[in-house]
Structure 1
């Protein structure tokens, strides 16, 4: 650790919290005890649960989405109840929930296999290990136990027999129907030699994975020791790198405002990799909302690999972009990749890991085709064995999508979270942790289920009546302290749907029922999270639909719970102001760090001007004001031939200004407009225009906060000017009003939290499209007199201290003078 700290210029100080038992690292990187004994041959410590072990090694069969695999919270509670009831009925000799563990030695590792046996009992002098499974299937139809259930019981039986010197051991599989409580038992007996042979074979099969894991880790750690920063440090960058390393070392959270051009990607990834090399963590998650930033992260890991870094890196691609089928119907009837997927996927993963270091979309697709397995599931399984995972935020934070392999209840890992473009996390996390449901959907499903289940039809009708009463009392929107008995009606309906779908075959309308089932399940799951950070409300929408919403106004607690699954996290963005706003919404901790990375850009190569005589206030919007805006645009873009972008707060304003601009200035420039709901191909075509050679000026109109308002990278002369029209305030809506009221009560900053701060972020992002590298040159013009108000003055980054006032009369000369002196 000392050499790394010295490299980053960190003052050395040993803190008690950084001790690792009685084993520390010496300067040569060897393991030493405090008495000085050498532990350079220390084996890697691995852990796996019995359940995960057998489910991984023995999984088989098809992927099949035609039944509701995931049980509702109510059904899971019912399963727990059945467990306890069976355990309680077995008499005093029955030991319930017996913890068992065993350390298995390999050449490179010590693997701890651990778990809890549901029960252990003796009958007629024979000892049995009991494995209890609750389900909605008819247990009387079972002819033999499910293989992975049997294997789970056998693992526990072997451990118990070994530790108690037993010559024979038995297992009992107890299957119980959750609805009827009908029970069926399967028993088997083994000699110790038989079950030992079975367990040894299991360990031999898993041993190749454990050995691979250890070999890769040893190779990775050795390569990191020799790894140097791949560039000459820019001014202030070495401090940035050391601040990130120090944050990870102290297991803290860091919020970093990092202007474009400071090299924030390498300045976060490199110290994170070094921290892994110092055993401060074991896996890096690089999280982002945009494809382009994911690409930059991937290129950065590839650069380190070119310089000697040895590790497995994977980018998780969205399911819809990986699925080779026309429709994502994940079942063996419609998808050949789903049929027998689990029979082949382990071999596919093992082979892929041995062939690729940087695992990308094309690698996944070709491997999936080679082994005929689902590419998305292959991608997720492969990620379990990788050192670096590049993915969207939702794979860590979204309760419906998160990677259960890493973040399920009871799991805490040695993870570092690097969260890029973290300003997006506020609105994204509000969406992730909120849920809504519509009254009209209950009626749709009721019509479908009428022919299939009278009990479900009645439950749907009951829910609908409750919602109808709420609808009649709602003129616009209504905020509630509680949803009362309605939630119990939802839970009852959920249980009935869960039971029905567990057994149901195909029927007309099943897809609509399944969609509703998942919406209802999500609503109830989110309801379990509701606390003072939520507002519950109903809304009568313009089209007459009636919605109930669980609105997560403050996502900080939910995000913190996910962050607590790892060791440390770094939030960073080029637009992270005011930082205390983001700190309060993205974490509950009060001792988090925050730093401001100084820009390395020469401000003389950029003109930043703000108009004093134009406004986009609703009360000022008129043809004369739009003519002034069009005049500003023309005055800027006619001073130098090139590509410009103009960002508007809405499509309506954009189109109104475009009409006037075309009337007055169409002959002088080429105009291009962003369309609503553009396809991927249309987006690429839009951006490709900026790369085309032309002797005419291109002016592209777009939307602030839209697909071109952030996340695009038009370097050098591909973009030489950005004009931002308005302060970016979100449109007034019921939800924004609820946010404002909540934060007025919370801290008196309702308007700032609901409108001003989200708005200024969109402005800063749009303005940031111009200057992408230290070599870029360009003009930024902000059109709204409110930008000169003190409330906004406090929100600008340090590098905006040279902003200049302008008006319609002098803006042309101001821009012309700038280009002349460049």
Structure 2
């Protein structure tokens, strides 16, 4: 009873939502007992606030909230502001990278490493007008990216340095996954932030993404264009470092030969490190040559990228995959960690307690296998209530987006189905605000010309959440086209003035991960760990697709009052996914795709 009263006092809203007190208590217990809590909580049930209330109830001195993308910072920032407005001060800093914080104009064509080198050079030469040490505020409330940039302009100081200077005084730090799951960034964080991880509660939002995101954070890429440019730079250095230049040229020639040898087909090809012929040991020589080239020319050198890649290859172990691909339109080497538990285990052991939250929590064995969690320390809590019919889901039989069957007829069929559903929604509702989620950007672009309905607004690689909301907020009806593996199909609020902007969701194809060399290698590791090939396949391909479907439908359920009508245009979900969707509380209705086109879905 005392705990209930404390939660009521902390709660910034009129009342707690159903289940929030349960989750808050579990978070509090996990912190007291130094355990890992995994919580499956549906979209719109207030899980972010519940986690923060539980952390405050436990007296956690530091809460680090990790999200996959910057767009997903909005939920913890919103709840921190609500707490502040109700009289509960939780000093908060949102941490983004140095380029996003930078107040100077930036060249979008250069990579992040090149940007950091330019930043250091400008500061060393006294050319950055924001390089002075900032005078920090005595007290602060909520410092997001925009407010930190405004503070930087006001104080003529770097917002990145201001943010890092305030981390030790913040109670809530919001950041993206790499700050903790890139070992080099984590070391930088521990050394520079003044944060004691042993007293920290680590919160991981959309935790079903974490294993794959750890692998993505580890990824190092070296492309043919970079190697060709590096070869030209060696020629410009000429006789100033004859031995080093000759050795480096041989290394680049070796790498180019491997790229051309293994990228003739369409498949990715695994490379054993022995095939590099010792090239990976030359990273120091490339660093010296890059510095020499920049001194001689005053231009940024591509040799740095070669050096960084070779250094990563030199440190790789048996849990890494090195391969050649040409799927991105360029021959490339990729180096990626295929055992994320190697990194994750150390993170979870370093903090006092962790909370993994998701509307689509993976099975226990997946969390243990991919994140290296101690099964005895892992508690799982499920949302205790069903959706009670708030999500009506229609699955279309007779249509599929499987890779092997995609052609122009497939794209035309999807366009016609989307048009028919939209036309019907406009006729039946006062406003048809339709989110259409595609399995990939290329699939979206192939279907796009066949969608005749207007207005249709699509996600682009450089689209920001704010501009997306600005485009649709004044529209009575619209089609908003996004990608399942993109930024806007999960973990974000498509809301304006307290109103959800989505009331219909179309999943235009089951977003099954592609059957790539990486996924095959990941599945093999799971199979070896679990001793069950079918289960390993489901965890690698089926469940990630179902998670994306549920997350997409959840964009229409952002409060307890919301209802959503959803359509899944892919019959494969009926094979093994229907029972999972029904267990989430969705009411499933199966119709023929032809009946949808003839408008007999409800008959």
Q: What SS does the corresponding residue of 2:394 show, helix, strand or coil?
A: strand
Specify which of 424, 427, 434 is matched with residue 212 of structure 2.
427
- Structure 2 gaps of 5+ residues are 107-114
Closer/same/farther in 2, CA of residues 356 and 538 from structure 1, 3 Å limit = same
Could you say which structure has the greater relative contact order, defined with CA pairs below 8 angstroms and 6 or more residues apart? 2
Please state how far the C-alpha of 1:236 moved relative to its aligned partner: 2.8
Q: How does 1:472-511 map to 2 (within 5 A)?
A: 474=262, 476=265, 477-480=268-271, 482-483=273-274, 486-487=277-278, 489-491=279-281, 493-499=282-288, 506-508=295-297, 510-511=299-300
Provide structure 1 residue ranges, at least 5 long, that are not aligned to the other structure. 10-223, 818-822
Distance 1:678 1:528, change over 3 A: closer
Aligned pair in 2 of structure 1 residues 438, 453: CA closer, same or farther (>3 Å)?
Answer: farther
Supply the distance in 2 between the matched residues of 1:709 and 1:490 (Cα, whole angstroms). Answer: 39
Offset at residue 287 of structure 1 (A): 0.9
How many residues matched? 573
| CA drift at 1:814 | 7.7
CA contact (8 A) 1:615 1:783 kept: yes
Q: Counterpart in 2 of 1:793? A: 578
For residue 306 of structure 1, report the CA deviation from its aligned partner: 3.6
Correspondence for 1:537 among 318, 323, 326: 323
Distance in 2 separating the partners of 1:523 and 1:236:
50
TM-score when normalising by structure 1 = 0.62
Report the TM-score, using the length of structure 2 for normalisation: 0.83
Which structure has the bigger radius of gyration? 1
The aligned counterpart of 1:364 is: 148
| Cα distance in 2 for residues equivalent to 1:425 and 1:701 | 25
Residue aligning to 1:252: 35
Within-5 A mapping of 1:411-560: 412-438=197-223, 441-449=226-234, 450-451=237-238, 452-467=240-255, 470-471=258-259, 474=262, 476=265, 477-480=268-271, 482-483=273-274, 486-487=277-278, 489-491=279-281, 493-499=282-288, 506-508=295-297, 510-513=299-302, 516-517=303-304, 520-521=307-308, 523-525=310-312, 527-531=314-318, 533-539=319-325, 545=331, 547-560=332-345
Residues 306 and 519 (structure 1), Cα distance of their counterparts in 2 relative to 1, 3 Å cut: farther
CA distance in 2, matches of 1:590, 1:271: 23
**Cα separation, partners in 2 of 1:509 and 1:587, compared to 1, 3 Å:** farther
Equivalent position SS for 1:314: strand
Match of 2:480 in 1: 700
Q: Which whole-Å deviations, capped at 9, do the CAs of 1:631-687 have from their partners, x for residues lacking one?
A: 54344331334211222224454455444442xxx5xxx24142543444xx64543
In the TM superposition, what are the counterparts of 1:244-643 in structure 2 within 5 Å?
244-275=27-58, 277=59, 281-327=60-106, 329-331=118-120, 333=122, 344-345=132-133, 348-349=134-135, 351-352=136-137, 354-402=138-186, 404-406=188-190, 412-438=197-223, 441-449=226-234, 450-451=237-238, 452-467=240-255, 470-471=258-259, 474=262, 476=265, 477-480=268-271, 482-483=273-274, 486-487=277-278, 489-491=279-281, 493-499=282-288, 506-508=295-297, 510-513=299-302, 516-517=303-304, 520-521=307-308, 523-525=310-312, 527-531=314-318, 533-539=319-325, 545=331, 547-598=332-383, 602-621=387-406, 628-637=413-422, 638=424, 639-640=428-429, 641-643=431-433
Offset, 1:781: 1.0
Spell out the pairing of 1:49-198 with structure 2 (5 A cutoff): none
Q: Cα distance, 1:571 vs. partner?
A: 1.1
Between 754-763 and 333-342, the greater mean CA deviation after superposition: 333-342
Give the Å deviation of 1:498.
4.3
Aligned to 1:714: 494
Computed over aligned residues only, the root mean square deviation of the Cα atoms, in angstroms, reads 3.7
Question: Per the alignment, in what secondary structure is the counterpart of residue 287 of structure 1?
Answer: strand
Distance across 2 between alignment mates of 1:299 and 1:603: 27
Counterpart of 1:233 in structure 2 is: 16
Query: Is 1:803 matched up with 2:585?
Result: no
Residue 321 of structure 2 aligns to a residue whose secondary structure is strand
Name whichever structure is richer in helix by fraction.
2
